Amino acid sequence: MRRLLEKYPPMTEHMLDMLHDLQQAEPCNYLSRDALTAVAEYVNVPVSEVVSTATFYSMYSLTPRGQHIIRVCESPPCQLVGAESLIDLLAEHLQIGVGETTEDGLFTLETTSCLGVCGVAPAMMIDEEIYGNLTRERIIDIINRVGGGR
């Protein structure tokens, strides 16, 4: 962790980048107590200040998440063409609710604001990859592919 942090000068202005990096390095895609404490010690601020920042932004999580994060766009252009039913479909297929993680720890289902690919709405993002023109069939196919044939 220390090595990741030392890429940046120990200043609060780099805190968002540090949190991004530490979260990415963690297999469960979240900011652990240790990670938050390490950032606080490194930039020399109370842990509460780091927690305060981390809990504000939707891309960070303080609880362990799945190996892959599914973010379904729920902004009006996607909603217009059926994003909501896709969230229901995913929830049913993965047997989890929004914000929850599958039992095998493979997927976490989240929603996100506009991904900026409205031309191929409805869209979702899995990790750093964007998928558009989603249909019921395509979405199951993508999940199976990303999940390695689950």
Query: Applying CB under 8 A, which residues contact another protein?
Result: 11-17, 19-20, 52-53, 56-60, 74-77, 79-80, 111-121, 125, 128-133
> Smallest distance, Å, CB 81 to another protein?
9
Smaller CB distance to another protein: residue 46 or 119? 119
CA distance 65 to 87: 18
> Smallest distance, Å, CB 108 to another protein?
14
Burial 26-42 (b: 16+ CB within 10 A, else e): bebbbbbeebbebbbeb
Smaller CB distance to another protein: residue 10 or 95? 10
Smaller CB distance to another protein: residue 105 or 132? 132
Give the neighbor-by-neighbor strand order of the sheet with 124-126.
107-112, 68-73, 124-126, 129-131
> Smallest distance, Å, CB 39 to another protein?
10
What token pair was written down for 143?
A: 């999940």
